[in-house]
């Protein structure tokens, strides 16, 4: 593998464009082409970054000068694209979730099992410098054995009803990040208790989904994990971790645009609102994610967020969905 990886981006929506910009600046990557089903979207990114707009997926996968693809297309296309790209010998970085249907995900796993290239799933939060440092400090034993975790994850504002309808539901769409974070912090999960509510937007309820949730997980090792979600948060994108152990506690908090604090006749020490949403909040994480992917492509190492991690997060999401439906906890089999 060359030390500068020639790469193409499939999908030029908000997140694809963001990845394309990171790749265009990254010294370890050479952004060769971008593609989108909507030609105008690809053309816009092409103009912005001065890279080729490919006419189709086939053009990208057939281009032997391209070593890797980043898949940021709609979820329903992920499995086909992963398989096709892997078969074409391309390394793959695919946005989460792999698919909304675990059966298709397992088919995909089977289809690529014997292929040798890197396949990585975009769980960006594992690459956040603060979350990563927190985990390293856990592993160094700073707070002893991990007993309880609280993951707070609240989006700034609800998505449109059309998005909700195709999203697979809150757990597969949004909480899946938190399920992966739980595994990052406490390992595999044995038990899932999910409680949901429609508190934010009745339209979400009419679309058959929930917009607020509280979940408790029990890890195989015995730790308890609480996740809370909301589709709307007045003070911005709320993303926090609290890890409680036998010897203390570690927190990782939100990020602010500045360090300015304000004192007046009604308040003291008021900070800025938190960074608005994932593009800003996880800017450093997305860069680190790309860097990790490029490293894995070069070195052949297994990514920190592997295909198997994508499978496990979806299994937990499915269990949560079942727990929500039945009103009782779901026990997960050992992953195979």
- Within positions 215 to 254, which residues make up the interface with its own copies, using CB under 8 A? 216, 218, 222-224, 226, 228, 230, 232-236, 238, 244-254
Q: Please state the closest distance from residue 199 (CB atom) to its own copies, in A.
A: 5
Write phi, then psi, for 271 (nearest 5 degrees).
Answer: -85, 170
Q: Please state the closest distance from residue 111 (CB atom) to its own copies, in A.
A: 38
Q: Are residues 193 and 323 in contact, defined by beta-carbon separation less than 8 angstroms?
A: yes
Strands 91-95 and 224-230: unpaired
Q: Please state the closest distance from residue 301 (CB atom) to its own copies, in A.
A: 24
Q: Please state the closest distance from residue 279 (CB atom) to its own copies, in A.
A: 17
Angle at 159 between CA 164 and CA 93, to 5 degrees: 80
In 3-state terms, what secondary structure has residue 2?
Answer: coil
Tell me if 76 contacts its own copies by CB under 8 A: no
Q: Please state the closest distance from residue 291 (CB atom) to its own copies, in A.
A: 14
Contacting residue, 267, 333, 334, 336, with its own copies by CB under 8 A: 267
Tell me if 25 contacts its own copies by CB under 8 A: yes
Closer CB to its own copies, 24 or 102, in the complex = 24
Angle at 257 between CA 97 and CA 164, to 5 degrees: 30
Q: Are residues 23 and 67 in contact, defined by beta-carbon separation less than 8 angstroms?
A: no
The region of 56-64, 89-97, 196-204, 302-310 touching its own copies under the rule CB under 8 A is 196-204
Site for its own copies in 88-117 (CB under 8 A): none
Tell me if 212 contacts its own copies by CB under 8 A: yes
Q: Please state the closest distance from residue 172 (CB atom) to its own copies, in A.
A: 20
Tell me if 18 contacts its own copies by CB under 8 A: no
Tell me if 195 contacts its own copies by CB under 8 A: yes
Tell me if 316 contacts its own copies by CB under 8 A: no
Q: In angstroms, rounded to a whole number, what is the distance separating the alpha carbons of residues 191 and 185?
A: 16
Contacting residue, 6, 43, 148, 203, with its own copies by CB under 8 A: 148
Could you tell me how far CA 13 lies from the centroid of its own chain?
Answer: 16
Residue 130: CB atoms within 10 A of its CB come to: 18
Tell me if 264 contacts its own copies by CB under 8 A: yes
Closer CB to its own copies, 30 or 232, in the complex = 232
Contacting residue, 18, 83, 111, 214, with its own copies by CB under 8 A: 214
Closer CB to its own copies, 107 or 188, in the complex = 188
Q: In angstroms, rounded to a whole number, what is the distance separating the alpha carbons of residues 155 and 282?
A: 13
Q: Are residues 107 and 100 in contact, defined by beta-carbon separation less than 8 angstroms?
A: no
Q: Please state the closest distance from residue 31 (CB atom) to its own copies, in A.
A: 13
Q: In angstroms, rounded to a whole number, what is the distance separating the alpha carbons of residues 78 and 94?
A: 7
Q: Are residues 236 and 157 in contact, defined by beta-carbon separation less than 8 angstroms?
A: no
Q: In angstroms, rounded to a whole number, what is the distance separating the alpha carbons of residues 109 and 114?
A: 9
């Amino acid at each position: 593998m060359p030390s500068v990886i020639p790469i193409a981006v499939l999908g030029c929506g908000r997140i694809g464009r963001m990845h394309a910009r990171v790749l265009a600046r990254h010294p370890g990557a050479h952004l060769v082409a971008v593609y989108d089903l909507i030609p105008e979207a690809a053309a816009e990114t092409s103009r912005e970054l001065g890279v080729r707009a490919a006419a189709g997926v086939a053009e990208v996968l057939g281009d032997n000068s391209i070593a890797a693809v980043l898949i940021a297309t709609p979820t329903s296309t992920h499995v086909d694209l992963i398989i096709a790209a892997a078969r074409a010998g391309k390394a793959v970085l695919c946005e989460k979730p792999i698919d909304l249907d675990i059966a298709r995900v397992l088919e995909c796993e089977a289809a690529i099992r014997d292929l040798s290239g890197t396949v990585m799933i975009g769980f960006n939060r594992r690459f956040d410098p603060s979350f990563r440092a927190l985990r390293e400090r856990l592993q160094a034993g700073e707070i002893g054995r991990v007993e309880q975790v609280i993951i707070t994850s609240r989006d700034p504002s609800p998505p449109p009803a059309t998005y909700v309808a195709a999203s697979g539901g809150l757990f597969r769409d949004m909480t899946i990040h938190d399920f992966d974070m739980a595994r990052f912090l406490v390992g595999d999960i044995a038990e899932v208790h999910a409680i949901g509510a429609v508190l934010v937007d009745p339209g979400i309820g009419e679309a058959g989904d929930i917009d607020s949730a509280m979940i408790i997980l029990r890890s195989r090792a015995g730790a308890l994990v609480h996740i809370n979600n909301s589709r709307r948060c007045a003070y911005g994108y709320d993303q926090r971790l609290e890890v409680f152990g036998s010897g203390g506690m570690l927190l990782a908090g939100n990020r602010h645009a500045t360090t300015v604090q304000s004192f007046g006749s009604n308040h003291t020490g008021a900070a800025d609102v938190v960074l608005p949403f994932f593009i800003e909040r996880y800017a450093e994480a997305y860069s680190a994610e790309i860097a990790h992917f490029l490293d894995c492509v070069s070195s052949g190492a297994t990514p920190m967020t592997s295909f198997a991690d994508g499978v496990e997060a979806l299994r937990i999401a499915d269990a949560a969905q079942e727990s929500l439906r039945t009103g009782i906890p779901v026990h997960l089999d050992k992953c195979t």
